[in-house]
Structures are given as structure tokens and as C-alpha cells.
Structure 1
């Protein structure tokens, strides 16, 4: 390990991006690479000052507060083989001073971890070094594309989390199911249980002892005919899935439970069907977060946000509709 040093005392004036945040959590973000135990130690030792006074880690910050941060040593890995996080610009659907909503592409994790060194949030922070605050509001699976919210102020994050707990945002997805969805099955309310799979992966199944879950499905289009028969399939169903609750893998497991799993879903889908669909161009899971309706977290202004279906999925629908590759 090598060590680098910040030799100067810093004085940071708090703006509305950190208003209401605990001092220790604020410092954990400011002093990335410094062990949390060391951050707590310099607070207890009086080296950190809040408005020139001794303070506690639990103190809440207000706009205009001045935080004194002493020189600290940050551990830096000597492993030069580690690749730096590349900055990336994502398609912006909505942005103001409190909220950023992007159209996340498939194949990109929302954050690093579990074998992924970085994700959307780390790349956004690299692309926007001037941004004081960028935090994920919610998550999308790596292979799911579509609308992803990032808070640019802590006050917006707190309000959005409260809204999500109350199921205020209306989230609608587009999903292609393998099979003929039964139109009378519009509401699926099967409870869901989390468990760990054989390879240590996070899994979800239907179970009476699980968390309540509610998805509303509407059939938008049905596909059948010679092209599907040529690859050994009979029916596909394009669905709009509207979440009434926000459980992990909810749409994927609810569709699996109705014997109409999502096309291209490697975890809950039909392996043989996925292999056959690859022949006509499906290279990913067909699940897209298409619409988000909610009041703005700070102004209350109604927001109705939409992300168009990615071109590869649009192309697949055209192939299915015209019955030829």
C-alpha cells in the first residue's frame, strides 16, 4: 500500500445538496478512501469543526454551515493494473437542479459490486467531477434498460425514497413474454421470497411467506405464425407491466409464475426459447422501464417521463410483425 496526503486544512460551506445530512455521512463521501473508523476518530478528537465548534458525527448539516476538515491520509492501492473508471455520458430524459433521469442502456450495472468494478453512478460521477451530490434513487437490473432516477440533492433523495415507500411513482415496463398471456390474468398479486441460489446469486420465488407484490399486466400485441414456428416457438406476448409494489425481480418472477417468462431472461426464463430467439436477433432480456409518472420531489410539479424502446428491441418487434428476418 502507498499513502498520499492532503496537506491543507479545508473549509467547506454546506449548500442545499447536503442539507439535513449527518456530518459523519457527509465526511464519508468527502473523504473517500479514508477508513470510516479514522473519520470517526478525527471527529471525536475535535479535528473536525462545525462552525468553529466541536461536533458529533450525528450532527445534522444546514445550508451555510462551515465544516473544517483537517489534513488526512488516504490509502491508495499500489496495484497499477486496476483500470480507472471511464466517464460516460448517458441519454438524459429529464434534468434540473434536484433530479436527473437517464435512459440506462442494457448491460450496464447501476453501481459497482458483486464482481462489477463500476456502474452507472460511478461513471456519472467521473463524467461530472463538478457535481457535489449524485446518488441513485432506485435500481434497475443490469440487463434491464430504461428510466433511472439519480438525485442531485439530498433533500430530493429523502423525498423520493419516501414516495417510493408509499408506492407513489407509477412505473410501467415493456416486456416480451414467451407464450400466450391470458388476457383475463391482468393482476398478479403473488407474494415474493428472496433466497440465495446454488451459485450464490440473489434469487426470488413465489412463496406464501413472502412480501406482498402486485403487478398489473396489459397485452399490447401478440405474435405467432411461420417465423416463430420455424424456430420452434408458437406464441409471444408484448406486455405493459405496471408496478403497484417495487419488489426485487417482481415483473420477472410474476411473468414466470404465469408460464410466460420474459424473453431473453437468463435467470427466470426458458433456456431453449432464449436460444431460439437469438436466431432472430434477441441478444438480451426484453425488459424496458418505459414510463415514470410522479410529482417532482421538491416542487410537486407532475412529471410524466418516457424512454423509447431501444433500437434492437424495436427491430425485433418489426421482425416478428412482418414474419421475416
Structure 2
């Protein structure tokens, strides 16, 4: 785009983050570029500077600085066999949203060295759908259920459900050691911060941290060295399960950020090295269908292989 552009926010938009609105408006627009505009004060809403977390609504006027997008020819085309693979991982779909069993190792968004993530691939799989927006997130190495909205009204609906904690989320995690079955709830406040190297990490912070509660529903021992945890989240903080397990003395297997690399080496013979964390199920109320929806994603082969261990 060669010059400054002024965009009026669509009539169906209510309280959407400004970065997410622009990404849905301009396919291929890098999130990092938007944040650069915000830092420099070049991106404005109703003539005022904005923050990364500011939201826009119907009728707002956004000033967008000049920029150049990659041409369609540079967009990574996903092979048809992989699209077929992704089609088979769709767990539930309506006109308003879609629930997918995200594979471990697939980022939710392209960027930072990743040509295309789950969102970009699903857009190629569903080319007639005008928009596909994440309503929550999963780490790249975490597999399992994730919801994407096809309409802004659905984005708002699910954001509200998650905010009110009306989405039940069940995870399975394989951790090192034999978990004490008396530990059924972990309440440790968490805060996002930067390490000395500049890496984003989450730490327990009893002063400035946000409330974080993890419930352990069931524990199954795997031989003498591992435990399978069935987990229900009461809050949904970044890296919550991973940090809570680490602080309980039982890091998740193959967690490269919060785990134990020495103990992980004992599993080299399995020829897998992906985080042993799986979003098993989601349950929520669909107001249009007027019914409870429960979606499950079976454990994949990487976790099933470790379940077969005897010692």
C-alpha cells in the first residue's frame, strides 16, 4: 500500500483487539509490523495513539501507515495431502466456528520463522470462509482441541465464555516421577517476564502474579518413573500447566522451556521429543443450538508410545 489509509471498522465489530482486526482485514500482515506502528505512534484510532491491547468497535476510524504485503505468489501453498490430513483432524464444525485437533509441532500462526500455521492452513482448507480467528491458544508443541471462529460475533461469544470460565478444558500430561496423589489442586500465581537472554517465560510470583489454579482429576503411574495426569484448568494463564508441574517437582516430559533435559534423555530410544501435553476435551454451551457441546481429541501416537513403557 503506497499511502496512508483510513479504515472504518465494520458494523458487526464490537470490542475486537486492534491487531486482530487488522490481521483479519489484511491477509498476510505481520503482527510484528503492527506492533512497530503502535510503538512509533503511526497507528491511530480516532486520531489517538493506541496500545497493543486496545480494542476497536463499529464506526471507529483507524489510520494505517503505508506498507507492502507479500504477493500471493509468495504465500506458501499447502500440499493437498496435508490439507486432507488436516480435514481429518476437524472434530466439530458449524457455520459459526470450527474445532480442530491441532497436531503437536504445528504453530497456531505463521511468523518467527514459521511459514504457515494452523490458521493459514485452515484458510486454504476453507477458502470460502471470510474469516478464521483464534478464540484461545495452544503452544506449538501442545496437541489437541482448539477453537477457531468464522464470524466476529462468534469471537465475541467465545471470548465472553472464556472470560466467565464457562468453557471446561481437560488436558492430559505425562510428567517425570510418581505424582503424589494427595496433590489435587495447585494454586500458584503466575507472571510473564523476560529471561536474561530476552526469552519470554512465566514464573511464579506471589506479589505481582495473576491467580492461576490447576486441578488434578486423576493420576495414573507409568512404570516407576512417569505419571499421566488428567488435568482440569480453572484459569487459563500462559504456560500454566507447564509451570505448575515444574514447581510441583514433576516437569512435563520433553518440555524444553520448563523441563528436565537430563531426565528426558532416558527416552531417546522412543525417537520422539515433543512436549507431552494434550488438550483432550472442550465443553461449552452453544447458544444458537441451545445445547451443550463436548468435543474430544484422542491421545496421539507420541503419548500412547510412552504409555506402553513398563519401567
TM range (shorter): 0.7 to 0.9
Q: Distance in 2 between matches of 1:272 and 1:141?
A: 22
Q: Distance in 1 between matches of 2:23 and 2:180?
A: 51
- Which residues of structure 1 form unaligned runs of 5+? 4-13, 45-56, 62-72, 225-233
Q: Distance in 1 between matches of 2:249 and 2:175?
A: 9
Q: Indicate if the aligned counterparts of 2:12 and 2:58 stay in contact, CA closer than 8 A.
A: no
1:201 to 2:199 alignment: yes
Task: Classify the secondary structure of the residue corresponding to 2:267.
Answer: helix
1:295 to 2:285 alignment: yes
Q: Indicate if the aligned counterparts of 1:159 and 1:297 stay in contact, CA closer than 8 A.
A: no
Q: Deviations over 1:54-79 (max 9, x none)?
A: xxx95459xxxxxxxxxxx9834489
| Greater mean alpha carbon deviation, residues 261-270 or residues 20-29 | 20-29
Structure with greater Cα Rg: 1
The equivalences for 1:258-269 within 5 A come to: 258-269=248-259
Correspondent of 1:114 among 107, 112, 115: 112
Correspondent of 1:84 among 76, 82, 85: 76
What is aligned with 1:49?
A: none
Q: Indicate if the aligned counterparts of 1:33 and 1:74 stay in contact, CA closer than 8 A.
A: no
Number of matched pairs: 271
Q: Indicate if the aligned counterparts of 1:179 and 1:235 stay in contact, CA closer than 8 A.
A: yes
The equivalences for 1:252-291 within 5 A come to: 252-291=242-281
What is aligned with 2:301?
A: 311
1:133 to 2:128 alignment: no
Residue 291 of structure 1 deviates from its aligned partner by 1.1
TM superposition score normalised by structure 2: 0.77
Task: Classify the secondary structure of the residue corresponding to 1:147.
Answer: strand
Give the direction of change, closer, same or farther, for the CA distance of 1:58–1:314 in structure 2 (3 Å limit).
Answer: closer
What is aligned with 2:221?
A: 222
Task: Classify the secondary structure of the residue corresponding to 1:279.
Answer: helix
Q: Distance in 2 between matches of 1:95 and 1:124?
A: 12
TM superposition score normalised by structure 1: 0.74
Q: Distance in 2 between matches of 1:22 and 1:241?
A: 32
The equivalences for 1:1-325 within 5 A come to: 19-20=12-13, 29-32=24-27, 59-60=58-59, 75-77=68-70, 84-86=76-78, 88=83, 89-90=86-87, 91-209=89-207, 210-224=209-223, 234-296=224-286, 298-318=288-308, 320-321=309-310
- CA RMSD for the aligned pairs? 3.3
Task: Classify the secondary structure of the residue corresponding to 2:270.
Answer: coil
Q: Distance in 2 between matches of 1:27 and 1:312?
A: 37
Task: Classify the secondary structure of the residue corresponding to 1:167.
Answer: coil
Give the direction of change, closer, same or farther, for the CA distance of 1:194–1:58 in structure 2 (3 Å limit).
Answer: closer
Give the direction of change, closer, same or farther, for the CA distance of 1:311–1:32 in structure 2 (3 Å limit).
Answer: closer
Give the direction of change, closer, same or farther, for the CA distance of 1:292–1:32 in structure 2 (3 Å limit).
Answer: closer
Residue 315 of structure 1 deviates from its aligned partner by 2.3
